Structure 1
Amino acid sequence: MEQLSKMPFKEFSIDWRTKAKISSNNAARFFNMNPLQEIHGEEVGRTNREMILFRANRIAIKNGDKKPFRENDADKNYVDFTEEQRVLIIDALNEISHFGRNLPAFIPIADCRINI
């Protein structure tokens, strides 16, 4: 019998989600989410993104890296970021989820890959 090679958990979870055809990407949905313009105005959605990117920058600094996000990155969509940046965004969303009820309790790291 062939011996199976070990796979890191991150790669396993990404591979599993791809094979299971799970297309709902919570990280993309919650990062791109903007409130209705008639009710809150356009600036509220941009402020939410700025807060998420600010938290992601703090996580990167804590890990000893440079700040990967600039102020004008709040205008981008989730798919416009690199995979490494999306991992930081997911980490930031998971930290922010402890402070409110609008986000799920946990967003898996596999959401850094986008199935297009």
Structure 2
Amino acid sequence: MSIPNHLETSEVVLLEMEVLLIIVATGAWGGFVSYLLKSKRKKSEPLHKGIMSCLTQIVISCFTSFLLSAIAIEKGLSFNMILLAAGIGGVFAAPILKYLGDKLKKSVEDNSLIK
């Protein structure tokens, strides 16, 4: 499966939606794995708090996997590497977002007109 750029046919739109769904599903799975690795649910904690925590982790992981896969697509990597980036983005969402946030903050501070 290839990821074509800027072609105007109906097949490409369906392919891009398919790729997007695969990336989001991979990110969601990575978020679930991350939740399982980090969860230390107490017996006294209500079940709905654990479910909400898991869903929150999945949403954050889907966003991060989408960002990393967009970077991988822009770099022209293969479909397997794009899926790998999506999976890594899902599992390591918090550290990746912190790192990207720090890089963006530093970039904005360095390029600021007011010093």
Scaled by the length of structure 1, what TM-score is found? Answer: 0.33
Is the helix fraction higher in 1 or 2?
Answer: 2
TM-score normalized with structure 2 length: 0.33
